[in-house]
């Protein structure tokens, strides 16, 4: 019960004020010594002093020691600042002994009656009255403002007023942040804010929280009242961009510029739910002069959405990786379906498809298309004498030498076991013959080393060249014409190039 009571802001403020006031009064008592400076105590001290002088003078008169009386009287006046003058007066009214200018101070004093400043004490010689001891004291209070300030009670009030004002000001300034500002907000407004699914926070000019709805409190795992007074900017907000370390918080931007900052994504490590991601809007609360006196901040939790986006992104990356792998496999399949595995040249079916496309292009652009048939001479004897492994190596070296003499747009395909077909787009028959001669020379001089130490044996090829200039725009006719020219080269001694238009008429069969 006591713990719950002390948890209330009102109880804590009240308890603090009681302790503060008590402390001020104790300090004031130490400074002003109020008990020692009371008027009653001063009057009692004056009374005792006068009575002591009367007793002492009574004894000295009975002894007729006038010199001791005068010495004592002067000593008392000299040593006591509160005594202005003193005198010993006989019953006849004659001043017998005085100290100080007694006549000036002792005026308008009723006979046989004492006042706080004029004290009269009778002196007896034996049983008979002898005279009076008259003592003139300073006034208890001075006149004017100094008299008021000299009063200890007034001093205490001034001390309490000055010290209390400073103490209460600092204390209240510190405790006001713990007051519940929601108390001045109608319940229907607070209920409406608490119903909202997104967090809503009101901050003052120092970014201190003055109101937080239930949604924001739940995200942080705190009660809404425990958030009051906390600095919203002091929380460890992080930008979603790791490289962006110097960013303006939305409410700070609103307080600085009096303009709204909308849709700012930030993350925060919360005790309840771990790292959360929010889209934050900060809008200034303006006074009559247009200055920002606070800000309203809304927090839309998009953590689950971000998680779904991350999962979707991961899935897309996986799908992309799968698609890439499929494409890679398709490329492999495409290569296997269109390429010769030994030489990587186009196979016969794929070469015919490319030939059809090149013929269409040449016809549309009115440009020539040349076809070259190439056959390795005496290849069967190479296989028989050196083995099929060496034969495969010879085929690979011949293709490599041929490729080195072709353009990137030229197309080479394996048409048979050791027979190859080459398309030369845009070249006429004369130019194609020059290319064929260059290939023949390269093959003859660059591929013989595959046969080992047999220096007498070289690898050569025979060539036949045809063109759309002398043949129709048809794949089979173009290849067939080149093949007929190749046949002439092989029958004429091999290792040579034959043009289709050089074939004798009796051997020429143009379709």
From CA 27, how far away is CA 353, in angstroms rounded? 110
- Is residue 151 predicted with pLDDT exceeding 80? no
3-class state of residue 454 by DSSP: coil
Question: What is residue 510's predicted lDDT score, i.e. its pLDDT?
Answer: 39
Q: Which residue has better confidence, 390 or 44?
A: 390
- pLDDT band at 248; cut points 50, 70, 90: confident
The 10s digit of each residue's pLDDT in 52-69 is 888 887 887 777 777 888
Domains of the chain: 2-32+144-177 (no CATH), 39-137 (3.30.450), 185-301 (3.30.450.20), 339-502 (3.30.70.270)
Asked if pLDDT for residue 298 goes beyond 70, the answer is yes
CB count, 10 Å around CB of 33? 11
pLDDT tens-digit profile of 330-368?
888 888 888 999 999 999 999 999 999 999 999 999 999
Instruction: Convert the pLDDT of each residue in 389-423 to its tens digit.
Output: 999 999 999 999 999 999 999 999 999 889 999 99
- Beta-strand (E) ranges in 26-107? 83-90, 95-99
At CB < 8 A and 24+ separation, what contacts does 426-429 make?
426/362, 426/367, 426/368, 426/369, 427/368, 427/370, 428/368, 428/370, 428/467, 428/469, 429/368, 429/370, 429/465, 429/466, 429/467, 429/469, 429/470, 429/499, 429/500, 429/501
CA of 327: how far to CAs of 235, 344, 354, in Å?
49, 19, 22
Among the listed ranges 112-116, 363-367, 417-421, 507-511, which one has the minimum average pLDDT value? 507-511
pLDDT at 3: 55
SS3 467: strand
Q: How far from 462 is each of 411, 446, 483, CA to CA, in Å?
A: 18, 15, 11
Lowest mean pLDDT among 11-15, 79-83, 123-127, 240-244: 11-15
Say if pTM beats, i.e. exceeds, 0.85: no
Q: What is the mean pLDDT of residues 154-167?
A: 69
Tens digit of pLDDT for each residue in 468-489?
999 988 999 999 999 999 999 9
What is the rounded average pLDDT of the residues 367-371? 95
Q: Is 135 exposed, middle or buried (0-12, 13-18, 19+ CB in 10 A)?
A: buried
Partners of residue 202 on adjacent β-strands: 211, 296
pLDDT of residue 433: 96
Residue 202 has φ and ψ, to the nearest 5°, of: -110, 130
SS3 20: helix
Q: Does the pLDDT of residue 511 top 50, yes or no? A: no
Identify which has the larger pLDDT, 446 or 126. 446
Where on the phi/psi map is residue 157: left (φ > 0), alpha (ψ -120 to 50), or beta? Answer: alpha
């Amino acid at each position: 019960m006591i713990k719950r009571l002390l948890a209330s802001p009102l109880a804590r403020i009240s308890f603090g004020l009681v302790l503060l006031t008590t402390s001020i009064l104790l300090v004031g008592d130490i400074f002003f010594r109020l008990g020692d400076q009371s008027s009653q105590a001063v009057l009692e001290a004056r009374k005792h002093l006068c009575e002591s002088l009367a007793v002492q003078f009574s004894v000295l008169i009975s002894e007729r020691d006038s010199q001791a009386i005068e010495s004592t009287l002067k000593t008392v006046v000299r040593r006591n600042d509160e005594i202005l003058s003193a005198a010993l007066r006989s019953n006849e009214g004659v001043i017998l002994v005085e100290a100080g200018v007694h006549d000036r101070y002792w005026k308008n004093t009723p006979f046989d009656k004492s006042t706080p400043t004029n004290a009269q004490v009778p002196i007896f010689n034996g049983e008979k009255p002898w005279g009076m001891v008259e003592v003139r004291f300073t006034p208890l209070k001075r006149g004017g403002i100094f008299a008021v300030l000299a009063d200890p009670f007034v001093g205490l009030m001034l001390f309490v007023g000055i010290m209390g004002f400073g103490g209460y000001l600092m204390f209240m300034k510190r405790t006001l942040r713990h007051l519940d500002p929601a108390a001045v907000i109608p319940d229907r407004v607070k209920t409406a804010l608490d119903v909202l699914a997104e967090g809503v926070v009101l901050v003052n000019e120092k970014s201190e929280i003055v109101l937080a709805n239930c949604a924001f409190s739940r995200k942080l795992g705190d009660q809404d009242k425990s958030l009051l007074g906390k600095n919203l900017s002091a929380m460890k907000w992080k930008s979603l961009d790791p490289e962006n370390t110097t960013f303006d918080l939305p409410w700070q931007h609103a307080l600085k510029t009096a303009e709204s900052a909308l849709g700012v994504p930030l993350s925060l490590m919360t005790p309840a739910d771990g790292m959360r991601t929010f889209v934050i809007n900060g809008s200034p609360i303006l006074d009559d002069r247009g200055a920002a006196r606070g800000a309203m901040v809304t927090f839309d939790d998009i953590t689950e959405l971000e998680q779904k986006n991350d999962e979707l992104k991961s899935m897309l990356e996986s799908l992309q990786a799968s698609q890439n792998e499929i494409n890679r496999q398709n490329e492999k399949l495409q290569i296997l379906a269109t390429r010769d595995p030994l030489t990587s040249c186009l196979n016969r079916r794929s070469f015919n498809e490319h030939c059809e496309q090149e013929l269409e292009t040449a016809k549309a652009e009115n440009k020539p298309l040349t076809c070259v048939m190439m056959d390795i001479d005496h290849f069967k004897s190479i296989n028989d004498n050196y083995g099929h492994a060496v034969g495969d190596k010879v085929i690979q070296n011949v293709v490599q030498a041929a490729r080195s003499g072709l353009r990137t747009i030229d197309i080479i395909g394996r048409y048979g076991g050791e027979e190859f077909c080459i398309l030369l787009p845009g070249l006429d028959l004369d130019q194609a013959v020059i290319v064929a001669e260059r290939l023949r020379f390269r093959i003859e001089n660059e591929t013989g080393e595959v046969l080992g130490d047999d220096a007498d044996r070289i690898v050569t090829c025979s060539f036949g060249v045809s063109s759309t200039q002398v043949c129709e725009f048809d794949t089979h006719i173009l290849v067939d014409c080149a093949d007929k020219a190749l046949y002439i080269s092989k029958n004429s001694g091999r290792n040579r190039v034959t043009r289709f238009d050089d074939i004798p008429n009796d051997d020429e069969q143009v379709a």
